[in-house]
A and B are shown apart, each in its own frame.
Chain A
Amino acid sequence: MAKIEIDGRTVEAADGSTVLAAAERAGISIPHFCHHPNLAPEGTCRMCVVEIAGAVKLEPSCATIVREGMKIVTASPRIADARRSVLELLLADHPIDCPICDKAGECRLQDYCRDYGLSESAFGENKTRREKLFRIGDRLLLDRERCVLCTRCVRFLRDVAKTGELGVFERGGRTEIGIFEGIPVSDGYSGNLVDLCPVGAITDTAFRFKTRTWFLEPKPSVCPYCARGCLVDVDIHPGFARHPETGGILRVRPRPDATPAGPWICDIGRYAWIETESRRVRRIVWNKEDREAVLSGDRAFALLGARLRALAETGKGDRLTLVLHSGLTNEEWTDVAEFLGEFAGRPRVRIADPVEDDGDGFLRTSERTPNRRGAAASGVEILPFHPEDDCPHTDLLIVFAGIRGHLDFLERCRPAWSGIAAKALVSPVLTAADRDFDFVFPCAIPYEKSGSYINCDGRRLEFSAVRPAPDEVKAEGEILRLLRAEVRRTAEGR
C-alpha cells in the first residue's frame, strides 16, 4: 500500500494502482473517455488530467501509477481549463445531435459538457462531415461524426474478445475507426461495444430509436442463456399512462460486476430475449379433437389434475413421465421434489436440455442452461430423456420446455410420443409441437422469476423478477405447486 494525498486528503492506495483508480476509491470521480477499468491505460483523451506535485505538466491520472507520498490535485482552475479545452475540441467537430441520439442520457460527452456549461461548438469553421451510418457489424452502426476516438472498442476487440475486427485508420484529423477489408465485427461479443462507447458513436439496431434512456428502469437479474450466470440489468420500460405496452424489456446489459472477467456479456445473453419475447405464449390452450380452445387457469389445472389423479388412483403412478430442464431455479427443483413426494407411485423424471456445444472459449459455456448444478444438487433422481425408451411406458406426459433450444428436441420426439394418451406442455414460447399436446400451459420466462441458480463456477446467484409475468402465465415452480395441490386433493379425498 502507498500513502498518497489527494485533494488534501491522505488515503491509502494499492501498489500499482493508478491515480484515477485511487481517487475513485476515495470517492473522487475524475472525468474520462478512453479509460476503462477493464482495459489497459491509454492516456489519450486527456480528460482525466490532474496536477501531481513535482510534475511540470498535467498528467493523465488513468496512466499514472501512485507512488508513496505522491501529492495529487484533481480540481483546480488549471485542470478545469485543460478539461474544458478537451471538451471544446471534441465539440468542434461533433454534430451535437443529442435530441436524436440514442446515447443521450448516458453519454459521457453530454454529461461533462453539462458539467462545464458547454452546449455548442466554440469555433466558427465548418464541421468535418463524416460517415454517419457505417455498418461495422450485423447489429452495429458507427457514427463517425459522434466518435471521440477513445479506441475503447478497438482495444476491447483486440485485448478482451481477441477477435480484433476494428482498427484505427488514417491519422490526424482524418483518424477514424473502421473494419479491415469489409470484414465486420463478429457476433460473439459485439454488443459490448455499445456499452463501451462513451458517446453515441456505436449503437445497435436492436435498441436504436426505440426509446429514450431516461425512461428505462434497470432491473438486476441473472442471464439464463448458459451456465456462466452473468449478472445483467434488464432495462424495463415502465410505460406511460396512455401506452398499453408497459413492462416491456428494451435492453439487456451487463452489470459492472457481470463476470469475474469484466462487465461483458455475450451477444446471446444480450439479444436472445428479443426472439424469446417475440414467441411468447400467453394463453392456456386445450387441443381437443383438432379444435383449439382457450382455457382459464382453474379449469386447465382441474382437467390436468383429474388425469393425474386418475393415474394415481388406478395404481399407475409410474406411468407418469415428467420431462424437465435444468433452466429451473433451485427453488423450482424443490417444488419438483415436493410434487414427487406427494404423488403416489414413482413417475419417470427425465431431463431434456439443449444439445451442448463447445462454448466459445470465453464466457459462453458449453451448457446452454443456467442451473445444471442446482438440478444435480436438488436430490431429485433424474435421468436423461430417451423418448423411444420412455414413451412406451407413459400414459401421461408432462413436458417442461425451456426458453430456447428445446424446440429442436421437441420436434425430434414427436414420433415417439404420438401414442401417449395424454400430454401436456409447459413452455414460455410457441413451439412447433404445440399441437401435439392436449394442454399447452404458458410459463414465465426466467426474467419473470425470482430464485437462484448455481453457475458453472459453483456460485449461488440469487435474483428477483424484473417484472410480473403476464396474466394466466405462471412460473414452472408455481405450476408444479398447483399440480401438487390437485394431487393432494386426491389424497384428501380418500
Chain B
Amino acid sequence: MSEKNLTRFFATAAPRALEDYLRTGGYEAARKALSSMTPAAVMEEVKGANLRGRGGAGFPAGVKWGFVPKSGEGPRYLCVNADEGEPGTFKDRYLLAHDPHLLLEGIILAGYAVGIRRAFVYIRGEYEELARRLEEAVSEAASRGLLGENILGSGYSLSVCVHRGAGAYICGEETALLESLEGFRGQPRLKPPFPAAVGLFGKPTVINNVETLTNLPGIVLHGAEWFLGLGKLGDGGTRLYGVSGSVVRPGVYELRVGARLRDIIFTHAGGMLPGRILKAVIPGGMSSTILGPDEIDVAMDCESLAAAGSMMGSAGIIVIDDSVPMLTVLDRITKFYAHESCGQCTPCRVGTSWIRKVVQRMMSGERRPDDLDTLVRLAGMMKGRTFCPFGDAAAGPVLGLIEKFRSELEG
C-alpha cells in the first residue's frame, strides 16, 4: 500500500535483524545527520515536518525539544515512552516487535538534535519479550559502533538503557514515567516545571513516544516536505491505526494522517464481522469520546477529531457492534479507570471509585432512576479538575457514553 512508510518492510512477523535493517537503508539517516547536519539543523527539519507526538496528546515533537534549555551544565536525558497502556492501543508493540532498530535510529537522531548522551526506554512490563529483543538490538547496534562512544566516528556518543515498567497505566503519563524510572511510586508530578527544564533526576529531559521517534529517520533522510506530503497540512506523516473489536481483520494499519475512520474500518480492517452492525467506535484509545455510527466519516487527525468532540489520542480504534450492550462498555471502561487511578488527587481517586460503585450496582441489576445523573455528576466533578489528564480521560468516556446512548443505558 502506497501510504506505508514505517512499516513498508514488515513482510513477516519476525523481527528484523540489524543486517536486514541496514540492507534497506537502515541507519542512513543517522549517518547523514551525524556527518553532515548540525543538531540545530536536525531540530529544524523535525519542526518543519510538524511531527505531532504519537503518544496521545499530539504535541509537536520539534517544539517540545525546543523547550530544553540550549545551554546549561550537567546531563540531559531522553526518555522513550514505550509504556503503551491505553486500552485498544498496540501500535508501539507492532513497531518494537518488527523493527527495534528503527526506534534506535530515531533515538540517535533525537539525542543528537537535543544534545543528549543517555536515553532510557521505559517499556511496559508486559512487553517482556519485546524488552529483551530491544536490549539485544541495543547490543547489536553498539557492537557495530551505532550506539555507545563516538557513533559512526562522529564524536557523538549515546547510550541506551531499557527499563521495564511494573504495570501501571499512569506511568505512561510522562511525569509519572519519570517518577517510576527514578524508582518512586508512579504518580504524576506537579507541572511546571516541565520535564524539558526539570525532568529525570532533576535534569532537562525529552520524553517521546516510540512511534514518534520511529518517524525521525524518514524525516531526516527525505526532508520535512516529503513528510508533510505523507499526511495533511500541519499534521505530517502517517499514523499506525490499531483496529480492534468486531471487524473482520483487526490489526495495525499504517495510513496517512487524516485517513477517514470509515475507510479504516470498512476497507482496511475488512468491515464488520458477518452479521454484525456497527454500533459505536472509540477512535483514539479508550480515553477518547465514543462516536456513533453516523459520526465515522471523520478524518483521523487531531483537529478533525477534536472538532467531532473526540480525540486522536493513540489512534487505537475500538469497533463495537450491535450485540454489545452499552452498559457492558460502561462497565469495562469504569473498571479500568477505577483500577488505574493513581489515587493522588481527590477528584480522580474518589471519582473513579464511586463511578465504579454505581456502575457495579447497575450491572447487578439494581437500578435507580437517577443513576445516569449521578454518573454525569461524578464525572463532572473530575473533568478538568484533576491533577493530571487522567481525570479527563476517565470522565470523558462516561460522559460521552451517557450523552450518546442515554436511552439504551436507561433501559
Q: Which residues of A contact B (CB under 8 A)?
A: 41-47, 49, 56-58, 63, 65, 82, 85-86, 88-90, 92-93, 123-126, 128, 148-149, 167-168, 170-175
Contact = CB atoms under 8 A, between A and B. Distances in A.
Contacts of A63: 190
B353 A172 contact: yes
Contacts of A90: 346, 350
A65 B190 CA distance: 12
Given A43-B387, A89-B354, A124 B368 contact: yes
A475 B192 CA distance: 57
Nearest to A122: B377
Given A85-B347, A149-B343, A173-B341, A46 B352 contact: no
Contacts of B385: 46, 49, 57-58, 82, 85
Contact of A172 (B190, B339, B358, B378): B339
B386 interface: yes
Given A89-B354, A128-B353, 5 more contacts: A43-B345, A46-B385, A47-B346, A93-B350, A172-B353
Interface string B376-408: 001011001111000000000000000000000
10 interchain residue pairs of minimum CB distance: A173-B353, A175-B343, A172-B341, A89-B350, A85-B381, A125-B357, A44-B345, A171-B343, A172-B343, A44-B344
Given A58-B385, A85-B385, A171-B341, A125 B347 contact: no
Contacts of A125: 354, 357-358, 361
Given A45-B346, A89-B351, A92-B350, A126 B357 contact: yes
Interface in B168-225: 168, 170, 185, 190, 192
Interface string B340-371: 11111111011111101110010000001000
Given A49-B385, A171-B168, A172-B342, A86 B347 contact: yes
A46 B346 CA distance: 7
A92 B352 CA distance: 12
B356 A89 contact: no
Task: Give the interface SS of chain A, mostly helix, strand, loop or mixed.
Answer: loop
B150 interface: no
A172 B358 CA distance: 16
Contacts of A41: 190
Contacts of B170: 171
Interface in B280-310: none
B340 A172 contact: yes
Contact of B349 (A57, A123, A173): A173
B49 interface: no
B327 interface: no
A24 to B, nearest CB: 20
Contacts of B350: 89-90, 92-93, 173
5 contacts: A44-B346, A46-B346, A47-B346, A92-B354, A123-B357
Nearest to B380: A85
A88 B385 CA distance: 14
Contacts of A86: 346-347, 381
B270 to A, nearest CB: 37
B374 interface: yes
Contact of B381 (A43, A45, A89, A124): A89
B387 A172 contact: no
A161 to B, nearest CB: 19
Nearest to B353: A173
A174 B347 CA distance: 14
B138 interface: no
Q: Pick from A43, A88, A89 the residue with the most CB of B within 10 Å.
A: A89
B347 A89 contact: yes
B186 to A, nearest CB: 8
B206 to A, nearest CB: 24
